[in-house]
Amino acid sequence: MLGNQEVYSLSIRRSLARCPALRQSEAVAAAPDVFEFLDYRAFLAAYYADRKENGRGFSYRAFSRRVGLRSPNYLKLVIDGDRNLSAEMAVRFAEACGLAGEAVAYFGALVALDQAKTGAERNAAYARLTGFRRHRSAHRLEMAHAAYHSTWYLPAIREMAARVDFRADPAWIAKRLRPTIAKNDAAKALETLLDLGLLVRGDDGRVHQGEPLVSTGPELPALHIANYHRAMMARAAASIDEFPSAERDISSLTLCLGPEALAEVKRRVQAFRRELLEFSATDPEPEVVVQLNFQLFPLTSPEER
C-alpha cells in the first residue's frame, strides 16, 4: 500500500510534444499547441525545435530580430532558465511564436506560474490556467491530481477503502470522516479517486484500493504536493483542539545540527516513513485512518561559507 507522498511520485513526465509541422515560406508559423504545456520554457524549446526542423533560415538570432531584441541568443537563455520574461516581454515572445488571442494570455499565465515566488502567487497563476477551456480539456488527469492534493479528505478516503466494511456510498463516507464533510464533496472525491485509479471497482461492484494511474501528461508535482502539505498541516493544527491527547500525538524537537548530521536525520526520517508504510500494509484489520506528519525546517540561518 502506497503512502500519500509516494502515490504522486509514480507519475512520469512525457517528452516534449510536437504538433505537425506547418510550413510557411515567410510568415511566422504556428507554434506547437501551447495549451498542451504547463512549462513555458518547455513550450519555447518545442517551438524552437519545430521551427529548426521545418522552417527555413530560423535561428536564435532570427527570433531575436522578430521580438526586437539586440541579444542574438536571448531565446536560448530563456529556454535554459538563465533569463526570465516580464509580462510585456511574454506577450512579445508569444506573438513571435505565432500565438494569438487566448493563447497569448495562456502563455502569459504560464510565465506567471513559473516565476511566482510564493505559494499564493503560484496558486493564483494556476487558477488562471484552469480557467482556459482548452487547458481543462488537455489536462483533465492533471487537474484530478491537483484535486487529490488540495484537500485533506481525498487521501483519507483512499486509505478508508482498506477497511473491510468500506462502502462506496458518499453518505456513508461523509459521516465517518472527522470532521464530517458534505455528501456532495464525498461524491466528487470518489469520482476523482476513481479517475486517478487510486480506487477501482471490482467485478463484484465493490470499490477497493488500486494502483495509481501513471499519467503521461505534464504535471505540476511541486505545486500540488505543497498544497497537500499545507492542507494536512492545517488539519494537524486543528486536531489539537478537536481530539483528546489519547487520540493524537503532537510532539516536536529543536536541534542544532551540522550539514552531515542534518543529512543523516533526513535519511533516518525517510527510512522510518518507509518502515511505517510496510508495517501498515501488514495490518490484517485496518479500521481507523490516521495522518502522521513529518516536518523538518530551519529556525536559523547557517554561517556563510
Q: How confident is the model over 21-60, as pLDDT tens digits?
A: 323 333 344 458 999 898 999 999 999 999 988 877 889 9
What per-residue confidence (pLDDT) applies to 270? 93
The number of beta carbons lying within 10 Å of the beta carbon of residue 67 is: 15
**pLDDT, tens digit, 9 for 90 and up, residues 97-134:** 999 999 999 999 999 999 999 988 988 888 898 888 88
* pLDDT bracket for residue 220 (50, 70, 90): low
Is-above-0.75 flag for pTM?
no
What per-residue confidence (pLDDT) applies to 258? 93
Domain shared by 117 and 149, yes or no:
no
What per-residue confidence (pLDDT) applies to 16? 24
Domain shared by 65 and 157, yes or no:
no
Residues 6+ apart with CB under 8 A from 223: 113, 122, 123, 126, 146
Question: Mean pLDDT, the chain, as a whole number?
Answer: 83
Phi-psi region of 69 (alpha: psi -120 to 50; beta: other; left: phi over 0): beta
What per-residue confidence (pLDDT) applies to 39? 92
22: in domain: yes
Of residues 158 and 4, the one with the higher pLDDT is 158
Domain shared by 266 and 249, yes or no:
yes
305: in domain: no
Spatial contact of 260 and 125, defined as CB atoms under 8 Å apart: no
Residues 6+ apart with CB under 8 A from 78: 41, 44, 84, 85, 93
Q: What is the average per-residue pLDDT within 220-230?
A: 79
The residue whose grid cell reads 521545418 is 54
Check whether 287 has a pLDDT greater than 70: yes
Give percent of the chain above pLDDT 70: 86
Domain shared by 96 and 185, yes or no:
no
156: in domain: yes
Could you list the residue range(s) of the whole structural domain that residue 185 is in? 139-299
Say how many domains are in the chain. 2
9: in domain: no
Domain shared by 144 and 113, yes or no:
no
Which of 204, 283, 288 shows the shortest CA–CA distance to 243? 288
Q: What is the average per-residue pLDDT within 231-256?
A: 93
* pLDDT bracket for residue 259 (50, 70, 90): very high
Domain shared by 179 and 295, yes or no:
yes
What per-residue confidence (pLDDT) applies to 17? 29
